[in-house]
A and B are shown apart, each in its own frame.
Chain A
Amino acid sequence: MSNKISETLTFECETGNYHTFCPISCVAWLYQKIEDSFFLVVGTKTCGYFLQNALGVMIFAEPRYAMAELEEGDISAQLNDYEELKRLCLQIKKDRNPSVIIWIGTCTTEIIKMDLEGMAPKLENELGIPIVVARANGLDYAFTQGEDTVLAAMAHRCPQQILLKNKKKIIQDSSIQKIFSFLSSEKKEERTNKYLENFKKNPPLVLFGSLPSTVASQLSLELKRQSVQVSGWLPSQRYTDLPSLGDQVYVCGVNPFLSRTATTLMRRRKCKLIGAPFPIGPDGTRAWIEKICSVFGIKTEGLEKREEQIWKNLKDYLDLIRGKSVFFMGDNLLEISLARFLIRCGMIVYEIGIPYLDKRYQAAELLFLQQTCKNMSIPMPRIVEKPDNYNQIQRMRELQPDLAITGMAHANPLEARGINTKWSVEFTFAQIHGFTNARDVLELVTRPLRRNNNLENLGWSDLTKK
């Protein structure tokens, strides 16, 4: 399939001199998502300074993450890594008592070859707390790929699905009932039965990708409407509730940057991957649901109408952006899906910059992009992997796009040169998945355009000295 795509979609690769966040930034949203976790970033002052500045006010809210700051003695191996980490983890255990400690390996631990994977099981035994190791470093990864490394590491910790079957009785008694513990016992049983009944309709389906819990339940609900039961999420709200995995389990990603996790789930946990476009935008959400349903042999109901309704609700925003052009500089791997959605909205995409493109994991999304371009009869955008920001800015000078989706390093300078910008980071932190949140994506995209409609006639769009 990938061959067919490359016939029409063109992929370029530049120098990789581009601006993006360090992948350790994933702790910012993951520690909030996984409530009983503690993230320990093993790195230097540079890592700490980045986190401190990038996460701003979160720092002050007693976050469940910290730096294990390496000092000269650690670098030159005068200190014993194991003893040092043990000391810090003991303190974390004492102060916070988390259900899991996640060590984030950084560039420095890579270079000095600190054996985090080797030390973790030993310390885990000594400490009695699971220790998960993720190497989210800037040598190998960009921004959101950090989450990918963490989830891939966590996939190994999910319970085996066979065990679930054998222990069904026990589970019935404990975990599921726990959820309904506030109900009367009669009702409880009824609920439990209903829960298990639903469960039988389709083989277990685990969705992977960290989403705010409201968005996760919105997506689960959309699937439930098509009578597809979601049996679990990776990650779950709590580490202790990780979903069961096994060769009977189907998995499907909700974010485009989770290719390592997908690979791990397939190869190591023998799960079956459903390759679908990602549920971003109403078109993406529908395609995502349709793909899942088709795998389970379920005919979708009322999905078309639902999509139509959502598009109708977006009309005021669509009028604003139709025919306008976008340039993605690329830094968070959401670019392909967002571009596809915006093309469907009637925008013209000049360039899709993207840090890294897994053509297999994103195959369905790429195909969907291609179809969307055809349907909207607009030229196929160029896809630039590992872009070069300097070259991109030269190209932007010529193209003069109506909107540049870019990192914060370039936003203000571009604005001063009269180019509207939207920070790409906001797409990572905003709720953009599913039908319900389609409007939120356009809210972000149209904001600079709406702002500038207000300022248009004041005559000071170019604010640089010649």
Chain B
Amino acid sequence: MKLAYWMYAGPAHIGTLRVASSFKNVHAIMHAPLGDDYFNVMRSMLERERDFTPVTASIVDRHVLARGSQEKVVDNITRKDKEERPDLIVLTPTCTSSILQEDLQNFVDRASITSNSDVILADVNHYRVNELQAADRTLEQVIRYYLEKARRQGTLDQSITKEPSANIIGIFTLGFHNQHDYRELKRLLQDLNIKINKVIPEGGSVKDLQDLPKAWFNLVPYREVGLMTAIYLEKNFGMPYVSITPMGIVDIAECIRQIQKHVNNLVSNEKFNYEPYIDQQTRFVSQAAWFSRSIDCQNLTGKKAVVFGDATHAASITKILAREMGIRVSCTGTYCKHDSEWFKEQVQGFCDEILITDDHTKVGDMIARIEPSAIFGTQMERHIGKRLDIPCGVISSPVHIQNFPLGYRPFLGYEGTNQIADLVYNSFTLGMEDHLLEIFGGHDTKEVITKSLSTDTDLTWNYESQLELNKIPGFVRGKIKRNTEKFARQNNVTNITVDIMYAAKEALSA
């Protein structure tokens, strides 16, 4: 057992559901007790989804505990098949169902006989993998299922497209700024004259998955999800993949050069040369290179920062801060413990120390010890920052609704570099302000004297009403006190009782 207040990555089934509900016309059925369908709330609230989240639960209750699910799961699958006619139904185990050890595969086999939809069982172990690992696995599982199906049916066409083309793998629902990143990647590939073959799982149809091998290569923008799929496709179809995250000017260039290499392997005559494009974008389209040269950024030199997040974002931001902006990264870390080797290798030489943990109190202690000028982390670090009075830019999941902005805010690509520069710059106390604060010792040198608008002479609060007043939360207490006294004066009451307090509330709200 572990005493825990907060976790960075969710349970495995969340990952499976995120992948399943990102595809078009795929329905997930959770084998779960009442209340475990909280995923629907998150998707509906955080992503502000207009459509009903295609996830339902086959409820595990007392009866199931006593007699097993029996027909229930199969019935629920066939019912959903009739109601929504999905292409695929993913039966999703949860932590509860995995202890029950029912033969879910058997239910899947039985249900697939009677339903028109394909039915698969998500193959994840709840006690061994987290949300991100589960998402990676589920995505690979779905792709494998459809490619093998196509191969069996002989519909698999392995010829590649005429023009250079790419699959983007790993954009999905509830991902940190994924929608914006997707738009930015589309633009980047378009600029490079590369067609987009398929984007999975977001908005993709499982029927089209057999066309995946038509692309020249796969682009996996995020470390956490998509890599397993890309490796599967490389092994079985010889498709190369690019897994350098195009975040920050240096890495975008590196990513584009890799793409160039793969594309040029397949063209015979006229080779592509992206170097002029990289140069043009770096120097004039993206403002980030110029920003790091400008005197604004000079003021950031040597300032201490701490970075924490998922492996992709924490590594990229660390490199951007250290390599592109001259900021001193005192500590960088990730909660992706399963990927710690890769992470360490990435940030080697760009930071003073590395912290691999999923315990937020350790992160908090580290920040308190280092006392950086700014933090770049998740929502948790933002709150740690609030407590320690250190500004924080949010760069990674887990996130709140404010991290699903309506405006265009990619982290990837050249527009992403601008966004990141803004985020970094705004997180540090602005340079000039910083100096002035230091010289004059703060904005407000005079102590603010708050005087209550009412005088205390003519009104008395009896002891019960005083008790009552003290029960009211501090931030509204003053207002309630003023309103009550106003009401008392209007009614020529001098002794304020609890009755008067509530009469005041009723009168005021009327």
Nearest residue (CB) in B for A21 is B35
Q: What does DSSP make chain B's interface, helix, strand, loop or mixed?
A: mixed
B420 within 8 A of A: no
Count chain A CB atoms within 10 A of each CB in B7, B59, B95, B380 and give the residue with the most: B95
Chain B residues within 8 Å of A140, by CB: 61-62
B502 within 8 A of A: yes
Given A69-B1, A313-B509, A410-B52, are A139 and B33 also a contact pair (CB < 8 Å)? yes
A60 within 8 A of B: yes
Assess whether B50 is in contact with A91, with CB atoms less than 8 Å apart.
no
Given A111-B96, A407-B41, A409-B44, are A218 and B51 also a contact pair (CB < 8 Å)? no
Assess whether B50 is in contact with A413, with CB atoms less than 8 Å apart.
yes
State in angstroms the CA–CA spacing of A180 and B466 once bound together: 12
Could you tell me the distance in whole angstroms from the C-beta of B360 to the nearest C-beta in chain A?
10
Binary per-residue interface labels of chain B (368-383) against chain A in the complex, 1 for a CB within 8 Å, 0 otherwise: 0000000000001001
Assess whether A138 is in contact with B468, with CB atoms less than 8 Å apart.
no
B162 within 8 A of A: no
Which residues of A from 93 to 116 have beta carbons under 8 Å from B?
107-108, 110-112
Chain B residues within 8 Å of A422, by CB: none
State in angstroms the CA–CA spacing of A287 and B61 once bound together: 36
Assess whether B3 is in contact with A66, with CB atoms less than 8 Å apart.
yes
Interface segment, one of A5-13, A47-55, A151-159, A343-351: A47-55
Assess whether B1 is in contact with A137, with CB atoms less than 8 Å apart.
no
Chain B residues within 8 Å of A322, by CB: none
Number of interface residues of A (CB under 8 A): 77
State in angstroms the CA–CA spacing of A180 and B127 once bound together: 54
Q: What number of residue pairs across chains A and B have CB atoms under 8 A from each other?
A: 182
Given A44-B95, A409-B44, are A49 and B7 also a contact pair (CB < 8 Å)? yes
Interface segment, one of A72-80, A244-252, A288-296, A377-385: A72-80
B128 within 8 A of A: yes
State in angstroms the CA–CA spacing of A63 and B6 once bound together: 11
Nearest residue (CB) in B for A88 is B3
Assess whether B468 is in contact with A217, with CB atoms less than 8 Å apart.
yes
State in angstroms the CA–CA spacing of A160 and B366 once bound together: 50
Assess whether A416 is in contact with B509, with CB atoms less than 8 Å apart.
no
Nearest residue (CB) in A for B497 is A221
Assess whether A71 is in contact with B51, with CB atoms less than 8 Å apart.
no
Assess whether B6 is in contact with A409, with CB atoms less than 8 Å apart.
no
Nearest residue (CB) in A for B471 is A213
Given A313-B506, A313-B510, are A409 and B96 also a contact pair (CB < 8 Å)? no
Assess whether A53 is in contact with B38, with CB atoms less than 8 Å apart.
yes
Which residues of A from 1 to 33 have beta carbons under 8 Å from B?
16-17, 19-24
Nearest residue (CB) in B for A75 is B99
B49 within 8 A of A: yes
B133 within 8 A of A: no
Chain A residues within 8 Å of B510, by CB: 313, 439
A142 within 8 A of B: yes
Chain A residues within 8 Å of B48, by CB: 412
Which residues of A from 391 to 444 have beta carbons under 8 Å from B?
393, 407-413, 416, 435-436, 439-440
Count chain B CB atoms within 10 A of each CB in A74, A142, A214 and give the residue with the most: A214
Assess whether B10 is in contact with A22, with CB atoms less than 8 Å apart.
no
Binary per-residue interface labels of chain B (475-510) against chain A in the complex, 1 for a CB within 8 Å, 0 otherwise: 000000000000000000000001100100110011
B472 within 8 A of A: yes
Assess whether B96 is in contact with A50, with CB atoms less than 8 Å apart.
no
B430 within 8 A of A: no
A162 within 8 A of B: no
Nearest residue (CB) in B for A310 is B506
Chain A residues within 8 Å of B44, by CB: 408-413
A70 within 8 A of B: yes
Chain B residues within 8 Å of A180, by CB: 463
State in angstroms the CA–CA spacing of A143 and B35 once bound together: 8
B34 within 8 A of A: yes
Assess whether A50 is in contact with B509, with CB atoms less than 8 Å apart.
no
Which residues of B from 1 to 44 have beta carbons under 8 Å from A?
1-7, 10-11, 13-14, 32-38, 40-42, 44
State in angstroms the CA–CA spacing of A463 and B51 once bound together: 10
A460 within 8 A of B: no
A68 within 8 A of B: yes
A117 within 8 A of B: no
Which residues of A from 137 to 151 have beta carbons under 8 Å from B?
137-143
State in angstroms the CA–CA spacing of A21 and B34 once bound together: 8
Chain B residues within 8 Å of A24, by CB: 35
Assess whether A59 is in contact with B60, with CB atoms less than 8 Å apart.
no
Nearest residue (CB) in A for B470 is A213
Give the residue of B126, B128, B498 whose beta carbon is less than 8 angstroms from that of A44.
Answer: B126
Could you tell me the distance in whole angstroms from the C-beta of B12 to the nearest C-beta in chain A?
8
Binding site for B on A (CB under 8 A): 16-17, 19-24, 42, 44-46, 48-50, 52-54, 56, 59-60, 63, 66-72, 74-75, 79, 84-85, 87-88, 91-92, 107-108, 110-112, 137-143, 180, 182-183, 213-214, 217-218, 221, 225, 310, 313, 390, 393, 407-413, 416, 435-436, 439-440, 463-464
* 30 A–B contacts, CB within 8 A, in A order: A22-B33, A22-B34, A42-B1, A44-B96, A45-B11, A46-B11, A52-B6, A53-B41, A56-B400, A68-B2, A87-B1, A108-B95, A138-B35, A139-B60, A139-B62, A141-B34, A183-B463, A217-B498, A221-B498, A225-B499, A310-B506, A313-B510, A390-B83, A410-B44, A410-B52, A412-B44, A413-B44, A439-B510, A440-B509, A464-B50
Give 16 new A-B contacts, CB below 8 A, not counting A68-B2, A107-B96, A180-B463: A19-B40, A44-B11, A44-B95, A46-B13, A49-B38, A50-B35, A108-B99, A138-B36, A139-B65, A310-B506, A390-B83, A413-B52, A435-B506, A436-B505, A436-B506, A463-B50
The 6 tightest CB contacts between A and B, nearest first, are: A22-B35, A138-B33, A409-B40, A313-B510, A416-B50, A60-B383
